[in-house]
């Protein structure tokens, strides 16, 4: 085992990337200093308002599947241990518009599964709409999980007792019924699997508290306008707070002058979760959706997040009236209504930091040289819409890099 450095690590950012990285460093025995412009649960950052769905989304990087697999295992272990902030639900992705006179196609030739679907814990399969409606799908047989390893149990037990505040969590996944909306027959086929949903604000709050309890120096009212300012701050820390590494988890790449990051605007509304509604649904295909206007419902705790948009370089910070109307229509399409009208209880706009060249992860040699001493600069940003999906995997690799 490598002896952990006695020097501190400065983590920039307090979204899921920053907090999960800081927690991993703290658990590895490092002293942690966090600086961020916003509090972890501030709705001015993407992490707390996000639907909390585990699924790689606009995170094009050859390392994504490995990071995502590590994070998936963590969430599944948390759910297995009864952690209140993680719930595993059946998920459906509808594929291919069914044109008049066509027969359903379920071979997968036209809609090959994504690479992440090979993870056995997801129970992924391609099914016909007829079988989906009849309930003859893999949703009835979620892969079983055994007890976690001692190492994973130690991670999980740090979060024992957190409650997401919902009675939906108390039902096992095998008891959860799949809701198939009426419009399903307009599609060729569907991908079905089981997926963890994270109560984003709850888990951010827990990680924040763990850092405070563990003695981390957390200041979420500090804004560095450049990498030089952050390096100057780090070089000014002495004694027990002497810093030997900076980990940049600020998302957008502005600190490093990275102009390749594209901010993709997402908008959603929250609705009260109907009794017995446990199905996560996602569509990007016509006639009801597109890549720019995906249609989705993510049950999270006592609410359902309904979306949405994927609009690059759109910087409007509030939902537009026409977007609110669209989301209300989406809720009517997706949620079981029994004649009820869905009233929104909240809304959110976030900006996914999409980096077309891949996630900025690893040692930044240019900024490490600029620091002019034994101070490493490590980047961990540009995760697109997959921040919650890759967080634990990226955090693990940061710890390994600094060991």
d(CA 13, CA 374): 22
The alpha carbon dihedral of 104, 109, 112, 117 has a sign of positive
Residue 41 structure tokens: 């649960």
Per-residue model confidence as pLDDT tens digits over 113-139: 999 999 999 999 999 999 998 875 555
**Residue 129 in contact with residue 181, Cβ under 8 Å?**
no
- Give residue 162's pLDDT: 23
| 151: pLDDT strictly greater than 50 | no
Alpha-carbon 124 to chain mean position = 19
- Give residue 231's pLDDT: 95
- Give residue 153's pLDDT: 29
Per-residue model confidence as pLDDT tens digits over 49-59: 888 999 999 99
Per-residue model confidence as pLDDT tens digits over 352-388: 999 999 999 999 999 999 887 679 999 999 999 999 9
| 145: pLDDT strictly greater than 50 | yes
- Give residue 39's pLDDT: 85
- Please count the other Cβ atoms lying within 10 Å of the Cβ belonging to residue 97: 14
With bands split at pLDDT 50, 70 and 90, how would you rate the model's confidence at 337? confident
Average pLDDT value for residue range 25-47: 90
Average pLDDT value for residue range 154-182: 53
- Give residue 136's pLDDT: 59
Q: Which residues of 75-84 are buried (b: 16+ CB within 10 A; e: fewer)?
A: bbbbbbbebb
- Give residue 372's pLDDT: 73
| 100: pLDDT strictly greater than 80 | no
Q: How far is CA 106 from CA 113, 125, 187, 246, in A?
A: 11, 10, 11, 49
- Give residue 173's pLDDT: 55
- Give residue 35's pLDDT: 96
Residue 366 burial by CB count (10 A; 0-12/13-18/19+): exposed, middle or buried?
A: exposed
Average pLDDT value for residue range 200-220: 96
């Amino acid at each position: 085992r490598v002896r952990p450095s006695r020097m501190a690590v400065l983590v920039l950012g307090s979204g899921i990337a920053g907090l999960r990285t800081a927690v991993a460093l703290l658990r590895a025995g490092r002293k942690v200093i966090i600086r961020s412009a916003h509090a972890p649960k501030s709705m001015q950052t993407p992490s707390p308002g996000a639907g909390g769905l585990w699924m790689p989304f606009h995170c094009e990087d050859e390392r994504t599947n490995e990071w995502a697999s590590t994070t998936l295992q963590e969430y599944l272990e948390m759910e297995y241990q009864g952690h209140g902030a993680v719930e595993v639900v059946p998920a459906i992705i509808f594929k291919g518009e069914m044109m008049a006179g066509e027969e359903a196609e379920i071979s997968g030739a036209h809609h090959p599964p994504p690479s992440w679907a090979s993870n056995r814990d997801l129970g992924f399969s391609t099914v016909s709409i007829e079988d989906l409606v009849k309930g003859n799908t893999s949703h009835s047989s979620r892969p079983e999980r055994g007890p976690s390893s001692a190492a994973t149990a130690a991670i999980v037990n740090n979060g024992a007792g957190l409650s997401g505040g919902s009675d939906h969590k108390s039902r096992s996944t095998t008891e959860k019924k799949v809701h198939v909306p009426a419009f399903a027959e307009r599609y060729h086929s569907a991908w079905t699997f089981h997926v963890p949903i994270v109560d984003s604000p709850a888990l951010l709050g827990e990680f924040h508290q763990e850092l405070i309890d563990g003695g981390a120096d957390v200041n979420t009212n500090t804004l560095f306008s450049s990498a030089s300012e952050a390096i100057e701050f780090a070089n000014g820390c002495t004694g027990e707070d002497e810093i030997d590494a900076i980990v940049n988890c600020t998302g957008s790449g502005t600190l490093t002058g990275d102009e390749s990051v594209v901010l993709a605007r997402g908008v959603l509304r929250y609705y009260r979760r109907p009794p017995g509604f446990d199905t996560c649904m996602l569509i990007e295909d016509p006639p009801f959706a597109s890549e720019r206007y995906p249609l989705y419902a993510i049950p999270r705790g006592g609410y359902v997040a309904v979306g949405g948009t994927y609009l690059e370089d759109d910087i409007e910070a509030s939902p537009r009236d026409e977007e609110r109307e669209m989301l209300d229509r989406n809720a009517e399409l997706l949620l079981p209504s029994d004649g009820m009208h869905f009233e929104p209880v909240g809304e959110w706009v976030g900006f996914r930091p999409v980096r077309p060249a891949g996630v900025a992860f690893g040692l930044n040699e240019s900024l490490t040289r600029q620091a002019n001493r034994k101070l490493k600069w490590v980047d961990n940003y540009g995760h697109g819409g997959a921040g919650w999906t890759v967080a634990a995997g990226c955090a693990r690799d940061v710890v390994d890099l600094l060991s």
